[in-house]
Amino acid sequence: MVAKTALPSIPESIGEEQKRRAWALWESIGAPKYHVAPMVDQSELPFRMLCRRNGSTAAYTPMMHARLFAEDPKYRREFTTCEGDRPLFVQFCAHDPQHLVKAGRLVAPHSDYIDINFGCPQRIAKRGNYGAFLMDDLPLVYELVSELVKGVYPTPVSCKIRVFPKLEDTLNYARLIQSAGCSVLAVHGRLREQKDNSATRADWDQIKAVKQALSIPVLANGNIRHIQDAQACLDYTGCDGVLSAESLLVDPALFNPRRLEPEGGYTVLQGCQLVQDYLRLCEQYPAPIRMVKGHVHKMVGPWLAEHVDIREAINTQSAQLTIQDYIRHMDELVERVRSNGRAEPIPAISQKALLRQAAEEARAAAIQEQEREASALANLDAFERLDQVNSVETAAQ
C-alpha cells in the first residue's frame, strides 16, 4: 500500500489549544466508553436507541455518501435522529472537500461530531474513491479533514481509520489526521485487505501505539465481542472508548453492565426480547424495511433456523412486509419459544445451509446498496447535465 502523492509535513505534536479543546469537547459529552460503530444500513435510529437503552453510551450513524447527502433531498431523508439520540457521531464518506463541508453543515445542529470514514474496505469504496482507499492519497486525507474542520466549526470533527501493515506508516497517518484538526480518532485494528472480521484478529498493539502517539481521544475498534472484551481492550490499549459492530448486531445489550454478572451472559432467549423491543422502536422511529430485515436475522437467526416457516415468510415476502407484519411474525416466534421451554433452538436447517443463505443474503444486500447508490449518482449526474444545458441556453439568450 503506497501513497500516490507525497506525504504532507507532519508535526510531532499539536498545539496546546487544539489539545485542550479536543479534551474539553470529549468531556462535554460525558467521555463515552461504549460506542455503536457505524454500519451501512445497520446503525440507524431505532437500532441506536435500542443499544442506548441497553448500555451503549454513544453511537455513530450509518456511513452516508457526502455528495448524495448534499445534493439529493430523498437521500437525506434516511438520516433521522430524535431527543435522546446523543452523543451522536454523523459519518460521511467523501473524496471532495466541498461536498463534505456542505453535507457536514446540514447535520451540524444535530450532531456532536461529524465523522469522516477512512476505513471502509469494500469494493464500492474503491470504485467511489473513498473510505480506506484514501490511504493511497494522504494529501487528500489531510485536505478533507482540515477543510471540514474549518467548514463546520465549532462542531468538532472525528475520523475512523484502518491500519497500515507497518506501524510507522500507521503512526504517521494518525499524526497527519490529528494535525489536520481531528478531535477524536477511532482506529480499526485491521488492514484494508482484511475484510472478514471473523477470520482476522484486530491488532490491539497498533491501536495502543496510536493512543500513545496522539494527544487527542482515541477509540479502539476490533475484537469487541462482549463487555469483557471491551474492558480488556481499554486496559490493554489505554484508549478512551471502544466501538463494536457485528457483535452488537447479535446482542444489542452487549455493553449492558448486567452482562458482567454471573447470570448476565447473553442467551438466544434474550435475543427474542430484544427484537421485540427493536420493532416497537421502529414503530416510533420508522426505518427502511431492508434494515429491519437485517436486524431481525441477526438477533433471532438461530430461532429462525428452527422455525423455518417464519423464516421463509420473512424472506419470501420481504418486499411487501410492514413493521406490523414483522411484529406479528416475531410475536408468533416468541410465543413458540416460550411454549417449548428450551433455552436453545434446534435448527431444522444445517449450519452449512445457514451459512450459505447468510452469504447469499449479504451479497444481495451489498448489490442492492451498490445499485441504490449508483442510481442516486446517475440521477444527480443527469440533473447536473440538465443544469449545464439550461445555463448554456440562458447564456445564448
Q: Give catalytic residue positions.
A: 120
Rounded distance between C-alpha atoms, residue 385 and residue 116, angstroms: 28
User: Is the torsion defined by CA of 381, 383, 384, 386 positive or negative?
Assistant: positive
Would you put residue 30 in left (φ > 0), alpha (ψ -120 to 50) or beta?
Answer: left
Query: Max Cα separation, the chain?
Result: 79
- Residues 320, 327: contact at Cβ < 8 Å? no
Residue 351 pairs in a beta bridge with none
Rounded distance between C-alpha atoms, residue 219 and residue 182, angstroms: 13
| Residue 323 CB-half CA count within 13 A | 16
Q: Check residue 237 and report its DSSP letter.
A: H
Strands 88-93 and 218-221: unpaired
The two counts, helices (H) then strands (E), for the chain are 16, 9
| Residue 50 CB-half CA count within 13 A | 30
Question: For residue 154, is the peptide bond before it cis, meaning its omega torsion is within 30 degrees of 0?
Answer: yes
Rounded distance between C-alpha atoms, residue 291 and residue 293, angstroms: 5
Q: Which CA distances in Å does 135 have to 104, 117, 233, 273?
A: 21, 11, 25, 42
Q: Where are the beta strands (DSSP E) in the chain?
A: 34-36, 58-60, 64-65, 88-93, 113-118, 157-162, 184-188, 218-221, 241-244
Query: DSSP string of 66-102?
Result: HHHHHH-HHHHTT----TT--SEEEEEE-S-HHHHHH
